[in-house]
Amino acid sequence: MADKTILKALRGETQSVPPIWMMRQAGRYLPEYRATRAQAGDFLKLCYNPELAAEVTLQPIRRFGFDAAILFADILLVPQALGAELWFVTGEGPRLSTITQQSDFNALKGKDDIHKVLSPVYETVKILAQELPKETTLIGFAGAPWTVATYMLAGRGTPDQGPAHALREGNNELFENVINLLTLATIEYLDMQIRAGAEVVKIFDSWAGSLKGEAFEKYAVEPARIITQELKRRHPNVPIIGFPREAGDGYIGFAKKTGVDCVALDNSVSPEWGAANVQVDGCVQGNLKSSHMVTGGQGLIHDVRHIRETFSKGPHIFNLGHGITPDADPDNVALMIETLRETA
C-alpha cells in the first residue's frame, strides 16, 4: 500500500511521472458503462447495486490502467439517506424534494440514521477493495455540505445556486441547520467508506465558487475543516483531497485552513498560478481542460506536457479540471495517459 503512487503524492513526494486518475472516469463516455447501466435499469438502481457499481468502477481501470479508482456513487445519495425524495429526469438530471421551511428540515433523519440506505455503497467499497489491482488506490468521496445543500434547497441544479443563497440571506438559522446536518452526515458517510476499504477520500464542493468572501470561509472552508479534522481523528493515516471548484483566490491557503492533504484545481486557474500559490503548501491535483477529451490532437498533447512540467517540482496528481463529459472520445483518454507517461 505504501508504494502506491497516489499515496506517495498525498504524502508530499515529488515523482518524475505523476499518478493519474480522472473525475467521472466511470461514465457515459464508455460503451461498457452504458451497457451496464442499461442492465441496472436506471442510474439510482446502478448506484445501489453493489456488484454493478463495482463493475463500472473497475471498467476504466481495466481499459486505461489509471492509478486510482473512484467509487461509483452520487453526491445526492446522502440527502436521500436523510429522507429527501430523489429521482432523476432523463436528459435533465436530478430532482429532490425541497427544504423551504423549518418543518421540512424537522422531517429529515439524523446523521446516524443514514446507513441503512447507504449500506449498498459500503458493500461496493468492500468489493472494490478486494478486486482492484494491488497497485491501484481506491478513492471514496462525498459532496461538500454547501454543494449538496444547493440541490436540497432548490430541488435541482441551478445555474447560480440562487435558492441556496436566498435562504442563506433570508433565513440563516434554517440554512445553517441544513449545513450542520450535512456536515455531520458527511463525516459518518466517509467514515464508513474508509472502514469498508477506501484508502483516500475526496470532498467535492462543485459550487464553492459561488460563495464569496466571508461566506466562502464560513460555508466552504469551515465545513471542510470540521469534516477533515474529525476524519483525521478517527483515521489519522487516510489522506483527504479537497475540491472547492472555481474558488479562485480561495484556493490559496485552503489546505492549511482545512487540513486536507491535497487541493484539486479546476482549469479556471493556470498551472503556473496553481504551482506558485497552492502547490507551495503541498500536493495539488489537476488541471487539464475536460474539453481536450473531446477534441484530442496536438492541443491535448501540448497541455498534458505543460501541466506535467509546471507541477514537476512538487507533489502532483494529474487529473482533469472537472469531470469528463459524455461526448468524450476514449481514444483521447488513452492519448492523455500515453503522453503523461512518456519518457521526458
User: Do the bridges between strand 86-89 and strand 93-96 make them parallel or antiparallel, or are there none, so unpaired?
Assistant: antiparallel
Q: Are 159 and 93 in contact (CB under 8 A)?
A: no
For every residue of 278-296, which 3-state class applies, written as one string? CHHHCEEEEEECCCHHHHC
| Domain 5-341 belongs in CATH node 3.20.20.210 | yes
Averaged over successive runs of 10 residues, the pLDDT of the chain (344 residues) comes to 89 97 97 98 96 98 98 98 94 93 97 97 98 98 98 96 98 98 98 98 98 98 98 98 98 98 98 98 98 98 98 98 97 98 80
Residue 2 confidence (pLDDT): 62
Each domain of the chain, given as residue ranges in start order, spans: 5-341
- CA dist 27 and 278 (Å) reads 29
Residue 91 confidence (pLDDT): 82
Q: Which three cell numbers stand for residue 292?
A: 481536450
Q: What is the pTM of this model?
A: 0.98
What is the rounded (10 degree) CA torsion for 91, 96, 101, 103? Answer: 160
Catalytic residues: 24, 28, 37, 74, 151
Only one residue has cell 465545513, namely 223
Only one residue has cell 485552503, namely 254
Residue 159 confidence (pLDDT): 95
User: Do the bridges between strand 200-205 and strand 137-143 make them parallel or antiparallel, or are there none, so unpaired?
Assistant: parallel
Residue 1 confidence (pLDDT): 58
